[in-house]
Amino acid sequence: MRRFRAWLVRLGGMFRKGRSDAELAAELESHVQMHIEESICAGMTPEAARRDALMRLGGVEQAKEAYREQRSLPWLDALLQDLRFSARMLRKNPGFTAVAALTLALGIGANSTIFSFADLIVRRPIALPDLNRLVAVSEIVTSTEEKGISPANYLDLKAEPHGLESLAAYQYWSAVLSWEGGSEAVTGVQVTTDFFSALGMQPLLGRTFLPDEAEPGRENAVVLSDSFWKSRFAGDRNVVGKKITLNRRVFTIVGVMPARFTFPLGAHLFWVPLAFTPKERTERSELSLGAVGRLASAATVEQTRVEMQTRWARMEKEYPDATFGRTLRVVPLLDDIVLDYNRQFALLLLGVVGFVLLIACGNVANLHLGRAAGRKQEIAIRTSLGAKRGRLLAQLVTESVLLAVVGGAVGLLLSFWGVHVLRSTLPPDVQEFCDLNELRVDFASLIFTLLLTFVAGLLAGVAPAWQQTRDYVLGALSETGARIAGGRGHRLRRVLVTGELSLAVVLLIGSGLMIKGFATLLSANPSFAPDSLVTMHVNLPPERYGESNQAKAFSDQLLSRLQSLPAVESASLASGVPYSFYDDRAAVRIAGRVELPSRQLPMVMPESVCPAYFRTMHIALREGREFDVRDVPSEAPVAIVSESMAVRLWPGESPIGRQLAVVTPNRRSGAITVVGVASDVLHEIYDHSFRSILYLPYAQAPPGSMDFVLRSQNAGPNLLALARAAVQEIDPNIPIDHLETMTQKIANQTSGLRYVARLMAFFGGVALLLAAVGVYSVVASSVNERRSEIAIRMALGAQPRDVLALVLRNEVLLTALGLGIGIGLALALTHVVAGLIYGVSSWDLTIFTGVPALLACVALLSTSIPARRAMRVDPMVVLRYE
Amino acid sequence: MGDKADVWQGTLALMVLKTLQAMGPLHGYGIARRIEQISGDLLNVNYGTLYPALLKLQQEGYIDSEWGVSDNHRKAKYYKLTRAGRKQLAKEAREWRQATDILARFLTEPERTS
């Protein structure tokens, strides 16, 4: 405390120098006088007394100096002095200051923009109060990693709280919103009535759900999201009590949630009560729900996990079939939202902009060194006046940091703009894992920017300052000192440029690999001709289409309508088309083989299709026959297998005529005969490993979901509208989604990654530009400093060709070295990118040769301007100037 | 004067505080003389360290100063102990006594004969 007080007083002392200097002088003077008087009293002569006093006093000036140091904070004094001096120096060279500050601003701005985004998706993707008290509870299917919880299991877990204050469930709900004269497919969420209180949220208007609204028949209440309220009700504050029609049922609006409430993440518009039907209350296999719980005040996630898993172990014994191949997962909600994948992407992007900043720092360090020659005299004079090296170092580094602060301030402004650009250009599916409304430059971003600014200032400043103060005695005051060719300063500049080139190579190779990887993804199913393929997902409301004959009647009717549309070559349907997130799994048992325990049976993807499916999708048949009108329920069950499945299950033999059975937890099918082999199709954009598909005829195996496909050479918006109309003519209250061409489907699914690839390419371009500027400035200044050398050589008979060789030789070596290091680094780092996205390989010959070639060209181009200048040196002019 | 010891770092502050306690308000010259006298002229108070030390004590709030007039009608800055200074003096004196006691016991330990 006392020390702090003293520190404060000393801080204050910095501003009262004049007055206390005079006071000290008076005090010392009175001290001397008293001493003299006493000595005189003791018998000395006045002269002797004075001499004795001054001797004893030990030097008035030294005493004053020591006093001054105690009075204020000398290091702060020095710092302020350095800052004032630095500011003067920066003002004196506006060109240098502007270029250097802008370069840093670019690097810092890019970093703080990306940091804001990375921080959002990794640390605070959603704004919920007490987020760390919320846990996600789900069953995980170990084979597919499918996640969710079945209604009956949820209700069992909820019945015994296990350290949870509450456990709420939710389920996405596709519905048709209809009003007089129109209808629209919308997505909402069905939630248990304790959902809002479990998440700790209060409505903006009205109320949330009452407990009795969870009973079937009483669930006609709806809570609107802020966006729905604003877009459809224009933010009407009297909206509570009004009615909307969803799936032909009337719902009363009971409340509106505030804008910051976006749970679960995604583009849904409203919440309605989740009323379990008696059938649902016993459903244990369908993972239809998501569950979120709030920890009781004393409980920890670990305790709760252990308790719930004990309960789960009991359920496993009670219902071995329904729980087969599943585990219970209890994790903090944040971990459920933030996937490792998101973290890796955040790191990747931060790495990219980190490289950009390093290159920017390299350039600024280069600029500092470029100015070093002109400041030799200044430093020499200060040295000869007694400045120590540490003091000079401090001053030069202060200058660099001050420059970085200017750059950081501009960079911060840039990042406000950058975050705005991100928010408006990010693909909408980013909303699935973060709330974009929360994307902004917040306190954490500010701190990050501040730290980064200092780091950048030090990075750019320390090496040049070290260099400049190194041989400050040598040749300092001589004018010719500046013209000694290729000193140490130059070596450092070359090292910097080499480093910049290496980093630029890494960035460009990385972005090149990503862009190339997308091309691979898009051409994964080359036979598809995705431009002429239209897909449409239809959600049949179970209330009216629960029986399989109702669904069959609908789909038959729709298929015949779709086939008759103009320019449609063929139409078909499947339980899930490729790239539609359809991902079912079933075990198969092969007739005539040793009976394996069910856990060891091979897994395949069952897919029900209509006869025209293979023709429509352009899937070639390798062997056997397609499905046709013979394959009806009354006939023997048949199947077509994919090539990979055939090779996997019947290696070296033809599967035609073989029999198998499909085993699901609940039942086992009869014998199914394989009648055909279809060529492989990739269902997942990012995971190409799984290709075992078991096609079943639609008539014999009614699908749980329906994706219609159309093949037409004229698949424009017109056809999409006609397809929608065809559905609505049959039943206007059927929600349709993903009505799009296969090309659009692929584009939508890869939009996030394409965005990242574009960002990387953009930053790669910035890196390229900065590196080019770096190369140019080094060569230019080298030529400048060597003018007299070149002139002498030319006077002695060197040809312009020789001069060119002289200038280029070094630079070519440097570029080659930089590129070599870059390629090595890229080889070491690109497996990170490769691990992130399927289709991106860590090695690609064209990229690994093309990118360095491009950089070599750019470097050569940057060298050519100063090199030409060197060739035009006029020896007479230069030497006369000497 | 070369054989006179300079005051040890850190002990000067304690001596200043003790002097002010014993003598009441006093100017810098008086403090210096008093310390030299008490030490039997064995110590030489370096003036270049005395004034910074006084300033430091003042910054820490242990002493206070004001301009006054000396016995022989000379303007001088007088220093006086504050309440915090009195407490600090008691504390430091106690610590010093302890330290010197321990050392004294160490040094009076009879040498082992072997």
Residue A707, both tokens:
């994706």
Best to test chain B binding among A19, A23, A32, A34 (most B CBs inside 10 Å): A34
Looking at residue A186, its pLDDT comes to 85
Looking at residue A14, its pLDDT comes to 66
d(CA A152, CA A289): 10
Looking at residue A342, its pLDDT comes to 83
Cβ-defined contact of A66 to B51 (cutoff 8 Å) = yes
Buried b (16+ CB within 10 A) or exposed e, A478-513: eeebeeeeebebbebbbbbbbbbbbbbbbbbbbbbb
Confidence of residue A481 (pLDDT cuts 50, 70, 90): very low
The DSSP call for residue B64 is E
Summarised one tens digit per residue, pLDDT across range A626-641 is: 998 888 888 899 999 9
Nearest C-alpha of chain A: how many angstroms from B72? 9
Q: Which of B28, B52, B74 sits opposite A70 (nearest CB)?
A: B52
The gap from C-alpha A332 to its chain's centroid, in whole angstroms, comes to 21
Residues of chain B with C-beta less than 8 angstroms from the C-beta of A27:
28, 51, 76-77
Spatial strand order of the sheet with B26-27 comes to B26-27, B75-81, B63-69
Residues of chain A with C-beta less than 8 angstroms from the C-beta of B53:
70
Q: Is the pLDDT of residue A472 over 60?
A: no
Residues of chain B with C-beta less than 8 angstroms from the C-beta of A57:
47-48
Q: Which of B29, B55, B76 sits opposite A70 (nearest CB)?
A: B55
Backbone angles phi and psi of A732, in degrees to 5: -70, -10
Give the rounded percent of residues in chain A with a pLDDT score beyond 70.
Answer: 95
Q: Residue A603 in contact with residue A587, Cβ under 8 Å? A: yes
d(CA A776, CA A397): 25
Looking at residue A120, its pLDDT comes to 92
- A790's CB contacts (< 8 A; 6+ apart) are A783, A798, A803, A806, A870, A873, A878
Nearest C-alpha of chain A: how many angstroms from B110? 42
Residues of chain B with C-beta less than 8 angstroms from the C-beta of A63:
47-48, 51
Cβ-defined contact of A26 to B55 (cutoff 8 Å) = no
Cβ-defined contact of B74 to A9 (cutoff 8 Å) = no
Nearest C-alpha of chain B: how many angstroms from A45? 19
Cβ-defined contact of B76 to A28 (cutoff 8 Å) = no
Cβ-defined contact of B76 to A6 (cutoff 8 Å) = no
Q: Is the pLDDT of residue A421 over 90?
A: yes
Confidence of residue A614 (pLDDT cuts 50, 70, 90): very high
Cβ-defined contact of B51 to A69 (cutoff 8 Å) = no
Nearest C-alpha of chain A: how many angstroms from B60? 5
Q: Is the pLDDT of residue A702 over 80?
A: yes
Mean pLDDT, to the nearest integer, of A422-441? 84
Q: Which of B55, B58, B74 sits opposite A33 (nearest CB)?
A: B74
d(CA A341, CA B46): 69
Mean pLDDT, to the nearest integer, of A414-435? 87
Residues 26-85 of B with CB under 8 A from A: 27-29, 32-33, 44, 46-49, 51-53, 55-56, 58-62, 70, 72, 74-77, 84
Best to test chain A binding among B51, B58, B79, B86 (most A CBs inside 10 Å): B51
- Nearest residue of chain B to residue A60 (CA atoms): B48
Summarised one tens digit per residue, pLDDT across range A256-281 is: 999 888 888 877 889 999 988 888 88
Q: Is the pLDDT of residue B114 over 70?
A: no
Nearest C-alpha of chain A: how many angstroms from B6? 12
Q: Residue A685 in contact with residue A530, Cβ under 8 Å? A: no
Q: What angle do CA A261, A198, A207 make, to 5 degrees?
A: 65
Looking at residue A492, its pLDDT comes to 83
Residue A868, both tokens:
């030409």
Q: Give yes or no for a cis peptide into A264 (omega within 30° of 0).
A: yes
Nearest C-alpha of chain A: how many angstroms from B38? 18
Cβ-defined contact of B55 to A62 (cutoff 8 Å) = no
Looking up tokens 């379990």, which residue turns up?
Answer: A276
Looking at residue B7, its pLDDT comes to 57
Cβ-defined contact of A6 to B49 (cutoff 8 Å) = no
Mean pLDDT, to the nearest integer, of A150-167? 87
Summarised one tens digit per residue, pLDDT across range B37-49 is: 888 878 777 777 8
Residues of chain B with C-beta less than 8 angstroms from the C-beta of A70:
52-53, 55-56, 59
Summarised one tens digit per residue, pLDDT across range A376-404 is: 778 888 887 877 888 888 889 999 999 99
Interchain contact B4–A (C-beta under 8 A): no
Looking at residue A412, its pLDDT comes to 95
Looking at residue A340, its pLDDT comes to 81
Q: Residue A275 in contact with residue A215, Cβ under 8 Å? A: yes
Query: Cα torsion at A747, A748, A753, A759 (round to 10°)?
Result: 80
Summarised one tens digit per residue, pLDDT across range A52-107 is: 777 776 667 777 777 777 777 777 878 888 888 888 888 888 888 999 999 999 99
Residues of A with CB under 8 A from a CB of B: 2-3, 5-6, 9-10, 13, 23-24, 26-28, 30-31, 33-35, 37-38, 56-59, 62-63, 66-67, 69-71
Summarised one tens digit per residue, pLDDT across range A534-588 is: 999 988 877 788 787 888 889 999 999 999 988 899 999 999 898 887 877 888 8
Mean pLDDT, to the nearest integer, of A301-314? 90
Q: Which of A2, A28, A63 sits opposite B61 (nearest CB)?
A: A2
Nearest C-alpha of chain A: how many angstroms from B76? 6
Q: What angle do CA A711, A713, A718 make, to 5 degrees?
A: 90
Looking at residue A224, its pLDDT comes to 93
- Kindly give the pairing relationship between strand A221-224 and strand A249-256: parallel
As a whole number of angstroms, the longest Cα–Cα distance in chain A is: 139
Residues of chain B with C-beta less than 8 angstroms from the C-beta of A37:
72, 74
Chain A / chain B CB contacts < 8 angstroms: 76
Confidence of residue B5 (pLDDT cuts 50, 70, 90): low
d(CA A281, CA A150): 9
Helices then strands (H, E): number in chain A? 26, 22
d(CA B69, CA B71): 7
Looking at residue A261, its pLDDT comes to 87
d(CA A386, CA A120): 52
Cβ-defined contact of A31 to B48 (cutoff 8 Å) = no
- Nearest residue of chain B to residue A59 (CA atoms): B48
3-class SS shares of chain A: helix, strand, coil, % to 5 = 55, 15, 30
Summarised one tens digit per residue, pLDDT across range A327-349 is: 899 999 998 888 887 888 888 88
Looking at residue A484, its pLDDT comes to 45
Looking at residue A482, its pLDDT comes to 45
Q: Say which range, A16-20, A290-294, A503-507, A799-803, has the weakest mean pLDDT.
A: A16-20
Nearest C-alpha of chain A: how many angstroms from B30? 9
Cβ-defined contact of A27 to B60 (cutoff 8 Å) = no
Confidence of residue A837 (pLDDT cuts 50, 70, 90): low
Q: What's the one-letter identity of residue A659?
A: Q
Q: Which of A6, A37, A66 sits opposite B59 (nearest CB)?
A: A6
Cβ-defined contact of B47 to A31 (cutoff 8 Å) = yes
d(CA A679, CA A643): 5
Cβ-defined contact of B75 to A26 (cutoff 8 Å) = yes
Mean pLDDT of chain A: 85
Cβ-defined contact of B56 to A2 (cutoff 8 Å) = no
d(CA A662, CA A673): 11
Mean pLDDT, to the nearest integer, of A521-527? 72
Question: When comparing pLDDT for A389 and A880, which is higher?
Answer: A389
Nearest Cα neighbor of A351 from A504, A507, A458, A505 is A507
Q: Say which range, A35-39, A226-230, A478-482, A520-524, has the weakest mean pLDDT.
A: A478-482
